[in-house]
Structures are given as C-alpha cells and as structure tokens.
Amino acid sequence: MRHQPRPSPRPHEAMQRKKAEADHREKKPKFCINDHIDILIEILKRLDGPSLGVASSVCRLWCTIARSDSIWEHLCFRHVSSPPPSSLRTIVVALGGYKQLYMVCVRPVLSRLLHSDLVRSRVWTRDEVQLSLSLFCVDYYERRLLGDTSPSSLMFLCKPVNV
C-alpha cells in the first residue's frame, strides 16, 4: 500500500491560520521598561557611576531619573555596612548633593581600588564614611570660600599612597 500525499490546505484556510496567529501575537502585551518607572529606578540604582552616566544619555526619562539625588545617594553608600543617619542627607544636599559627593570623594577612592578585588568584597566602616564626608566638606568650603576652580587639595585622593 502506497501512502498518498496529503492534500495541501486550501489557500483561504492557510490565510485564516496566519491571521489567527497574527491576532494572537498582537494581543500579547509588549513590555516597555519606560512604562514601569519603579523597576527602572531599581535597575539604575544597581549601576556604577560611569554606567549611570551612560544610562542618562538614553532618553529624557532616563536622564531625569539618573539626575535624582536618591540614585546617587544609593551609589555613594552602596559599600557601607549600616545606613547613614537621616540627618546626613540635609548636610550633603546643602553641600551640593550626592552626585557631587560621589564625584569628589567616592569615585577617586573607588578608582584607586579598581585594580584590586577590595571594591566588590569590602564594606566601608563608619570611620571611612565620616572621613569621606569630611573631605567632601573641605572641598565644598575650598570652592565656596576661595572661589577657586583649580584642582583642590583633595587631588591626593586620585594618586596612590605609600603607607
């Protein structure tokens, strides 16, 4: 007994099947990250400083979120064992905000430690956080009182130190 080839489906049946598949695909909701700002904020909180800068150039929404002080606050204190006191926020904001704190104090320290594994595995102590904030205050007052835009006395943070 020979098998006879199955007759090909009629053209209108094939068209109906394709249309049903297309309708099914259209009904499936598409996910757009920009529609879920809370998820986007959580994602941006987990980026490092340079990546956050790149993310801010994606679109206006991402730029607005990346400028948020709360994102930079999270970035500054990511390596701290216990959260900083709430009174600290007003001081940092008065001195230029958390982005400024990151750029002046945290980033130079992290870039010096970049070649070692200490950045990822190490948790900052309370004294190290206090020192970083003190240096931030020094930088602020140098800029404010001296009105000098030249490199501040904190440039030593960018250079290796032999201890």
Digit-coded pLDDT (tens) for 30-55: 778 888 899 999 999 888 888 888 99
Collapsing DSSP to helix, strand or coil, 149 comes out as coil
Q: Indicate the pLDDT class of residue 157, thresholds 50, 70 and 90.
A: low
Position 138 scores a pLDDT of: 72
Question: What average pLDDT is seen over the chain?
Answer: 73
Position 64 scores a pLDDT of: 93
Long-range pairs for 47-56 at CB < 8 Å and ≥24 separation?
Answer: 47/75, 48/75, 49/75, 49/102, 49/103, 49/106, 49/107, 49/110
Position 49 scores a pLDDT of: 85
**pLDDT greater than 60 at residue 161:** no
Q: Across residues 136-153, what is the average pLDDT?
A: 64
Q: What percent of the chain has pLDDT over 70?
A: 54
Per-residue pLDDT tens digits for 92-132: 888 788 888 888 777 776 666 665 555 555 666 667 667 77
The b-or-e profile of 87-124 (16+ CB within 10 A means b, else e) is: eeeeebeebbbbbbbbbbbbbbbbebeeeeeeeeeeeb
Distance of CA 123 to the CA centre of its chain: 19
